[in-house]
Chains A and B, each alone.
Chain A
Amino acid sequence: MKFRKVWFLLPALLLLVALLVLAGCSSGTSGTITEAGSTTVQPLAEKLAQSFKEDNPDVEVTIGGGGSSVGVTACNDGTVDIGAISRELKTDEPQLVKHWLAKDGIAIVSSPGNSVTGLTKTQVREIFSGTITNWNGVGGPNHSITVVAREEGSGTRTAFEEMVMDKPEPAVEIVDTAILLPSNGAIKQTVKGDKYAIGFISMGLVDADVKALAIDGVAATAENAKSGSYPIVRSLYFLTKEQPTGLVKDFIDFCLSEDGQAVVSDEGYISVI
């Protein structure tokens, strides 16, 4: 019976799994912090976790994405210790404890190959609401504009809508022909590849692949955002259900300390101290 041998594989497999589970449980019981939420905060949180671990090698910090709304719900129902959001808490959301982590400019980006270098805030609004559909309407080439935005529910989109689309009244909607993509990175990739595309991403992610447009004549730089002259800036927060204690407090304190805020600046975000 050749195939009898295979029978021994099954219990062996189950044993292996049991061992993995046990191993996981024993090392995971103490010193774990979990974070989830905003995809804008995610790369920053990963870097913060890395430098926190350098001083606290026994502590495991798990960083997850999901989006700002997940950050709120997951933190509120105890799924994670820390939630992350890249917009303000809405009035109909549970009012959790906010920890002001950083400020972040939202850069309006186009391809480096596009001749337009700056727009007014009104022009941005008109482009994203579909009133201006051709680049020649803003002094660019005669070619239709590809509008690229984040999907509904994204913190970056909500913040962009609050700062650009809703004010001054009346609020306008992002045009329904806009390409909707699930992350800052995806928008960056698309804008990089399409000479006639325009999108918005976190300023911390701008590099040579895309061109950040000046808004109302102010260049999209961290200095201008910090000084307040660049108009599209939002805050990034960590959320906790109660006032934090223990490990969670240590981690958040680290993030808000000088060392933590140095990481924030290094990653292209704006420190809050």
Chain B
Amino acid sequence: MLRTSARSTQKVALVFIWGTGAVALSILLVIIGYLFVRGLPEIGWSFLTTPPQGGLSGEGGISTVIVATLYLIAVTLAILIPLGVGAAIYLAEYAPANRFTALIRYGTEVLAGVPSIVFGLFGFVLFVTALHFRFSILSGALTLACLLLPTLIRTAEEALRAVPRSHREAALALGATKWQTVWRVILPAALPGIITGIILCIGRAVGETACLYVTMGGSAGMPDSLLSSGRTLSMHLFYLAMDTNAIEKAMATGVVLVIVIVISNAMTNWLSQRFRARMTGGA
């Protein structure tokens, strides 16, 4: 009796489980499918290489938008990498194990969860207005760097900590200084992990809208200096969807975004697999 009821419960439960899988999968299919069906026909060489018309027409392609996105990411990384990796090295290798360090780590964790628009508000008031950087790539990059800093510090610190103790001991035993150990042994060993973190940040930067919407101004023109206004792919999608009739162009921009994300996911997976193999294979 108990046996049969347990079996029938199992049957019901399994049906439910498969049902949730089916629903989750259909959500993915609807979003991606709809996006590709409407967006893909728009994408061609000319879409990628002509500038958008700007304003409310929504016509044209996304060439300047691609340039602005790349420009923004390059500037962001130039600010982000030294600060983030530096802080991670400090936390992983130099920081004393005391309350203060624990507090810093906790603060970083908390900031990693603060909504992007809060950083946007901060960036707007500080960089755009108070420091007179205007609506610009520079303001956007600074804001974005602040937003991504906690994420990078965390992933980079984890990567550094994953390097086996034996590496450090061996290097120190050979007479290397602390810095030589860090620079020649630990950093190279942790590099794939750090790069994974950086790619993660690039992925988030590509998808980010809220904090850039209020700091980059959204000009559709070709950015020609750090102080030019500009718009990223995600912002362009938002403007097209909200301000224009060009829903197909918005969908096409979405398709480009999804493809970028797929590539960055694949790179992250590949790198972290290699990293794990190196760390556990006893390099």
Contacts and interface: CB of A to CB of B under 8 A. Distances in A.
Are A and B direct contacts in the complex by CB distance below 8 Å? yes
B224 A28 contact: yes
Interface stretch (A15-23, A160-168, A170-178): A15-23
A20 B192 CA distance: 27
Contacts of B71: 20
B276 interface: no
B244 interface: yes
A185 to B, nearest CB: 3
A43 B55 contact: yes
B129 A73 contact: yes
Given A62-B229, A77-B129, A24 B188 contact: no
A63 B134 contact: no
B256 interface: no
A42 B219 CA distance: 10
A65 B218 contact: yes
Q: Say whether chain A's binding surface is mostly helix, strand, loop, or mixed.
A: helix
A141 interface: no
Given A13-B78, A17-B74, A183 B226 contact: no
Q: Say whether chain B's binding surface is mostly helix, strand, loop, or mixed.
A: loop
A195 interface: no
A34 interface: yes
B267 interface: no
Contacts of A185: 56, 242-244
B226 A79 contact: no
Interface string A58-97: 0010111110000001100111100000000000000000
B228 interface: yes
Interface string B51-74: 000111000000000000001001
Interface stretch (A3-11, A99-107, A243-251): A3-11
Nearest to B221: A62
B223 to A, nearest CB: 8
Given A4-B188, A28-B225, A46-B55, A79 B74 contact: no
Given A3-B191, A79-B134, A17 B54 contact: no
Contact of A62 (B74, B81, B228, B245): B228
Given A4-B188, A62-B229, A189-B245, A24 B224 contact: yes
A205 interface: yes
A271 to B, nearest CB: 19
A78 B132 CA distance: 8
A113 interface: no
Interface string B186-220: 00100110010000000000000000000001111
Interface centre among B128, B135, B220, B243 (most CB of A within 10 A): B243
B75 interface: yes
Contact of A25 (B77, B128, B191, B226): B226
A25 B245 contact: no
A56 interface: no
9 nearest A-B residue pairs (beta carbon): A185-B243, A24-B225, A43-B55, A28-B225, A64-B217, A17-B78, A186-B242, A64-B135, A64-B229
Given A13-B74, A24-B223, A189-B243, 16 more contacts: A20-B75, A24-B225, A27-B224, A27-B225, A28-B228, A36-B229, A60-B224, A62-B219, A63-B229, A77-B129, A80-B134, A181-B242, A185-B56, A185-B242, A189-B242, A189-B245
Interface of B: 54-56, 71, 74-75, 77-78, 81, 128-129, 132, 134-135, 188, 191-192, 195, 217-221, 223-229, 242-245
